[in-house]
């Protein structure tokens, strides 16, 4: 099965499933994707609410800094240039600040919606960081 097909199956599994912070939110879902794709447990800092997640992000200096640590655990290197399907990326948004998601084709970033499911965001012109899925 191709990576694109595996990603589609992963996304479908969470469609309509309410977000649980620390388990399947906009950072936990990409970490779970990496765990499933690589067979390695990818650990996140522990949090159970949006406020706790934001406190960790602030303490570490930004979502990209948090993901630098997560990427190192997964064995993922930063990708320079266009992302590939299944990569994990961070973007800046005017409304929500930095958010993370999983890259689809055509510079689309698939982000987890708070009410469950996914939102295709893009095409993204500028990524803060892209981490190549190992």
The structural domains of the chain, with segments of one domain joined by +, span 3-131
Q: SS3 string of 66-83? A: HHHHHHHHHCCCECCCCC
More confident residue, 12 or 74: 12
CATH number of 3-131: 3.90.1720
pLDDT above 90: residue 131: yes
pTM score, whole prediction: 0.93
Residue 115's pLDDT is 82
Question: If you search the block for the tokens 């990409």, which residue do you land on?
Answer: 30
Query: Closest Cα to residue 105, out of 90, 87, 129, 117?
Result: 87
């Amino acid at each position: 099965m191709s990576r694109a097909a595996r990603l589609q199956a992963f996304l479908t599994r969470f469609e309509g499933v309410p977000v649980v912070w620390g388990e399947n939110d906009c950072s936990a879902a990409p970490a779970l994707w990496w765990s499933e794709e690589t067979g390695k447990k990818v650990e996140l800092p522990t949090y159970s609410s949006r406020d706790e997640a934001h406190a960790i992000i602030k303490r570490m200096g930004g979502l990209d800094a948090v993901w630098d640590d997560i990427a190192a655990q997964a064995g993922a290197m930063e990708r320079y240039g266009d992302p590939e399907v299944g990569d994990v990326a961070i973007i800046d948004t005017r409304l929500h600040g930095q958010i993370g998601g999983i890259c689809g084709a055509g510079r689309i970033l698939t982000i987890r919606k708070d009410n469950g499911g996914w939102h295709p965001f893009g095409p993204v012109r500028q990524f803060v960081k892209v981490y190549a899925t190992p």
